[in-house]
Amino acid sequence: MHVVLRFRATAVVAAAALLMAGCATGPGLAKTHSPRRTVQAGADASSTDPSTKPSAQPNKPVDPAFAAERMRLVNPCALIDKDVLQTVGTPSRYTSSNYTRCSNYMKDKAGKTLNISVDVGYTLTSTDLKNANKQLAGLKSSEQKLTSSCFVTAVTQENPGQALRIQVSTGSGNEAVADTCEPSRKVLEGAVRKAKGNPQKYTPLKGSPVEVDPCAIVDRATLAPVVGASPRSLAFGLHQCSWSGQGASMELEFKTARIPKDGKFDRDSAEVDLGGVKGYQVLKDGPFPTCELVVVRTKDSSDAGEIAEFQVGASKEKTTDRCQAAQAFAKAVLPALPSA
């Protein structure tokens, strides 16, 4: 059964969630504040590069089921379906704030707090891959245990490094689960099994960029004027890609968002014409001034939708017109996206 990308926005600050009954709908499109991992020119490759000296074949998953083109359409909530969560407790409502993350704030079998989240296509650094020295569900795996939470990953691709990741966090005092890694392993085993099977998938709305590989859609001619003929390319997750070189960087990300009534994603945003398509840009100052340009791709009656975000940044020493470059970037890419 395929699931249509239908979105509803709520008024919850910073992480509004779509309630999902049995994973029967798509992800919520409320604006979230997940950490940005833009790589500035000259940044240390070892800090973000999934594999500084990769030996695995590029873009080859450890199993065809985990191919990026397939996983972009997998509804993450379907990977932690109720039959998976019931192995560790009593599921509650599903919440999803982007294409590849889903959470369930539930209770364990003793009634204690057990908050579970799954991330699909989670980016791994070279250090993460090195630390994946365990085995879980037939895949290389790693664990990171903190005071009240546990992160367990199963490597689905080595070059660049990607994984299915489960995060389990608990409460404090009498609400605390003693070992958060035990339910993490169980849920991840179930998620891997679901991913290898026939999980529910999104049926993209007209104009949706959810299936598009952001790293593959941008050609060298578009990149060269800003980052040179041979920029360093880095993929983050399944829907974000950046390029850096010559003291500058470019980034393209497809994501879900709450669409403001006035179109301004930032109070200082200015509307620009991209050849018959509206864009909203803002120049962010700082040590690495960056122009952010947002183009709405889908929008429903509740103002929830999907966007393409283009960024061009450069060191202060460079005289690059960052917003003009961002507009050229968008104009080059938009014709290759699915028609709205």
Q: How confident is the model at residue 4 (pLDDT cuts 50, 70, 90)?
A: very low
Mean pLDDT to the nearest integer, 153-160? 96
pLDDT of 53 reads 54
Residue 77 lies in a domain: yes
185 and 228 part of one domain: no
Q: Work out the mean pLDDT of the chain and round it to a whole number.
A: 86
- List 273's β-bridge partners, or say none: 278
Spatial CA neighbour of 136 closest among 150, 119, 153: 153
pLDDT of 17 reads 29
Percentage of the residues of the chain whose pLDDT score is greater than 70? 84
pLDDT of 340 reads 78
Residue 215 lies in a domain: no
Spatial CA neighbour of 116 closest among 146, 144, 147, 93: 93
Mean pLDDT to the nearest integer, 61-84? 97
- 47: helix, coil or strand? helix
Per-residue pLDDT tens over the stretch 298-331: 999 999 999 999 999 999 999 999 999 999 999 9
162 and 225 part of one domain: no
85 and 161 part of one domain: yes
Residue 37 lies in a domain: no
176 and 89 part of one domain: yes
Q: How confident is the model at residue 51 (pLDDT cuts 50, 70, 90)?
A: very low
Residue 52 lies in a domain: no
145 and 267 part of one domain: no
Return the exposure string of 57-72: e unless at least 16 CB atoms fall within 10 Å of the residue's CB, then b.
Answer: eebebbeebbebeebb
Per-residue pLDDT tens over the stretch 256-299: 999 998 888 999 999 999 999 999 999 999 999 999 999 999 99
- Better-scored residue on pLDDT, 196 or 264: 196
- 84: helix, coil or strand? helix
Spatial CA neighbour of 163 closest among 97, 71, 95, 34: 71
- 335: helix, coil or strand? helix
Q: Which two tokens stand for residue 246?
A: 């010559």
Q: How confident is the model at residue 54 (pLDDT cuts 50, 70, 90)?
A: low
Percentage of the residues of the chain whose pLDDT score is greater than 90? 79
Specify whether the backbone of 275 is left (phi greater than 0), alpha (psi in -120 to 50) or beta.
Answer: left
Residue 31 lies in a domain: no
Mean pLDDT to the nearest integer, 139-162? 96
Mean pLDDT to the nearest integer, 94-120? 96
187 and 308 part of one domain: no
User: What's the CATH code of the domain at 315?
Assistant: 3.40.1000
Q: Number of folded domains in the chain?
A: 2
Residue 71 lies in a domain: yes
pLDDT of 156 reads 98
CA distance 248 to 340: 31
End-of-domain residue from the set 169, 203, 237: 203
pLDDT of 137 reads 95
Yes or no: say if 109 and 186 are a contact pair by the CB < 8 Å rule.
Answer: no
Per-residue pLDDT tens over the stretch 124-143: 999 999 999 999 999 999 99
| pLDDT over threshold 60, residue 114 | yes
137 and 176 part of one domain: yes
Per-residue pLDDT tens over the stretch 12-45: 222 222 222 233 334 433 333 333 444 443 333 3
Report the sign of the C-alpha dihedral through residues 270, 271, 272, 274, in that order. Answer: positive
Give the range among 18-27, 63-72, 152-161 with minimum mean pLDDT: 18-27
Q: How many CA atoms lie less than 13 Å away from 149 in the CB half-sphere?
A: 10
Quote the domain boundaries for residue 94: 58-203
- Strands 139-145 and 134-136 come out as antiparallel
Residue 26 lies in a domain: no
CB atoms near residue 182 (< 10 Å): 15
224 and 306 part of one domain: yes
- Better-scored residue on pLDDT, 40 or 214: 214
Yes or no: say if 79 and 164 are a contact pair by the CB < 8 Å rule.
Answer: yes
Mean pLDDT to the nearest integer, 110-133? 96
Residue 170 lies in a domain: yes
